[in-house]
Structure 1
Amino acid sequence: MTKRITLANRRLFSEEFKQTVVQDYERGQFSVLELAKLYQVHTTIIYRWIQKYSSYNKRKIKVVEMADSSKQKLKDLQKRIEDLERAVGQKQLNIDFLEKMIELANTHYGIDIKKNSDTPPSTGSEQTSKH
């Protein structure tokens, strides 16, 4: 009987990558759980990296995270994403409306607003003088 040897899928991470992950954790940008999901690495591995590379966490000091604060942070980020998506959607509606108005101005009045080069560009805060 022959023994079949299979190699597990192992990923190797550079020291620089590990240190970057730890720095993200130390800055409070992500929790360990969030980093694990983001990079698809088990939390145990990230805790090892923290033990090895962290300037705050030394040996024999246990890293403790508040689960509730991580959950709240994730909820806050999800709400922020929803708010931004809503804002982008509203801006897109405005763009669509303005493009339709430009099209109607061209169709009904023969004004090609997009190609009118006689109009000086607006700076937004200054009044333009009339010729």
Structure 2
Amino acid sequence: MKANLQQIKKTRCYSEGFKREIVTLYESGKFSVPQLESLYKIPNSTIYNWIYKFSIFNEKGYRVVELKTSSMSRLKELELKIKQLEQAVGQKQIKIDYLEKMIDIAKEELKIDIKKNFNTSQSTGSETIKEK
């Protein structure tokens, strides 16, 4: 047996202080409208209405337009730059490892001391190192 259930309208009511806080976060530049939308689970149209109503900078007759792609493209640019820098660091590390290996081979097989310690004497050209 089914009970008579009425469908409850699911609307949320926000205080004026909360609305003003959201607008202040937007105006300060800390968050974009899409970020606020995902953070607070509030539709962007509602946030834009609050901006039109409570914004200090928004004049009547002007429309606020914010592209979701603008913040996303900036994020993608930064991620690409990080990837390029990590790749450059990786290549430099490979080069350093290669050069250190070459120095070790030169010391072991050719008896050439490329790395100088501060207490060793200066080499006199292409002489081989005397083994002790």
Contact map agreement 2:34 2:68 (CA 8 A) in 1: no
Contact map agreement 2:33 2:47 (CA 8 A) in 1: yes
2:23 counterpart letter in structure 1: V
Match of 1:68 in 2: 69
Aligned-residue RMSD, C-alpha: 2.5
CA shift for structure 1 position 72: 3.6
Match of 2:42 in 1: 41
CA shift for structure 1 position 6: 1.9
CA shift for structure 1 position 68: 3.1
1:25 counterpart letter in structure 2: Y
Match of 1:23 in 2: 24
Pair 5,60 (structure 1): closer, same or farther in 2 beyond 3 Å? farther
Cα distance in 2 between the residues matched to 1:19 and 1:76: 32
- Which structure: larger Rg? 2
Give the secondary-structure state (helix, strand or coil) at the position aligned to 1:37.
helix
CA shift for structure 1 position 58: 2.3
Structure 2 portions without partners, runs of 5+:
80-132
Cα displacement string for residues 12-55 of structure 1 (whole angstroms, at most 9, x for unaligned residues): 11111110100110111111111011000100000000000001
TM-score calculated relative to the size of structure 1? 0.50
Contact map agreement 2:37 2:43 (CA 8 A) in 1: yes
Match of 1:53 in 2: 54
TM-score calculated relative to the size of structure 2? 0.50
CA shift for structure 1 position 9: 1.5
Match of 2:104 in 1: none
Runs of 4+ in 1 over 4 A off after TM superposition: 73-77
Cα distance in 2 between the residues matched to 1:72 and 1:57: 25
Cα distance in 2 between the residues matched to 1:72 and 1:18: 28
Give the secondary-structure state (helix, strand or coil) at the position aligned to 1:60.
coil
> How many residues are aligned here?
77
Match of 1:82 in 2: none
Matches for 1:86-105 after TM superposition, within 5 Å: none
Cα distance in 2 between the residues matched to 1:76 and 1:11: 37
Cα distance in 2 between the residues matched to 1:4 and 1:42: 28
